[in-house]
Amino acid sequence: MRPDDCALANESPEHHLLKLELATAARAAGFRAELEVGNEARTWRADVLVFDREDRPFMALEAQLSPMTPRDAQMRTDRYAADGVAVCWISMEKRPWERGVPSLRVAPPRNRGDAWTVRHGMARYTWAAPRTVKTKAAWTHISCSLDEAVRWILQGRVHTHTGPDGTVWWTARSYVPLAIARARLEAGAEAVLQAAAAEQRRRAAQEQAAATARARLAAEQRRLAAEDRRLAMLEEAHEEQQAEQERLTDFFEHAGIKAGLWPVFMQLVRSAAGKDVVCGNQSPAHGNGLLRRSGRPVPLSVRRPARAQRPYLVVTERRVVWVARRHPGRVKSSCSWCRPGPAGGTGQR
**pLDDT (tens digit, 9 = 90+) per residue, 55-77?**
999 999 999 999 999 999 999 99
Using 50, 70 and 90 to split pLDDT, how confident is the model at 293? low
**CA angle 321-327-328, nearest 5°?**
45
Tens of pLDDT, residue by residue over 97-129, are 999 999 999 999 988 888 999 999 999 999 999
Average pLDDT over all residues of the chain: 82
CA distance 321 to 338: 7
- Number of other CB atoms surrounding residue 248 within 10 Å: 19
Supply φ then ψ for residue 96, to 5 degrees.
-70, -20
Using 50, 70 and 90 to split pLDDT, how confident is the model at 201? very high
CA distance 256 to 258: 7
**94 CB-near residues (< 8 Å, 6+ apart):** 105, 120
- List C-alpha distances in Å: 210 to 31, 214, 218, 277: 75, 6, 12, 51
**CA count, 13 A, side-chain hemisphere, 277:** 24
Is 0.85 topped by the overall pTM?
A: no
**CA count, 13 A, side-chain hemisphere, 263:** 10
Tens of pLDDT, residue by residue over 321-341, are 444 344 444 444 333 333 334
